[in-house]
Amino acid sequence: LFVDSDGSFFEYFRSSWEEQLLTEEIPRSDVVGWYRNRDRKRTSLRVPYQQRGRWRPLYPDFIFARHVDGKVVLDILDPHDPTRADAVPKAKGLSRYAEKHGARFGRIQLLAKIGNDLRRLEVNDSEVRKAINVVDSSDALVHLYETAGL
């Protein structure tokens, strides 16, 4: 959505996962564009999550726009290492967000690199949300990616 006069865009990516996500998503025939949702910006999409009794903001990394049945639909795609201390609380926060606001979006996905694959949890699926809501450790979250990830 933001390019210079040459049609170029530069972005620094924190992980190869983000680049792999873009490599998978951009060639899709339904993709119209994408937006890098920046951390701690006033205009950024923030999803609340709770960690150690405090509410914090999750800034999902990407918002994609796609054509679906003649309409533009927005997707939230967030690659995040499931072994990090904040991974389970963020997953649960995104699950709560999808429960309340999922109908306004197409896909709401958490993504993680499992082996060489980028696995996706479709948080807009009620069964996946139920599974996320009972996850209590990083190991359990990794197992969920392995068993329920797309």
CA end-to-end distance (rounded Å), the chain: 27
Burial (CB < 10 A; 0-12, 13-18, 19+), residue 26, is exposed
For 146, which DSSP code?
H
What pTM was estimated for this model as a whole?
A: 0.90
Residue 3: is its pLDDT beyond 90? no
**What is the per-residue DSSP string for 119-143?**
EEEETTSHHHHHHHHH--SHHHHHH
Read off the pLDDT of residues 47-63 as tens digits, 9 standing for 90 and up.
999 999 999 999 999 99
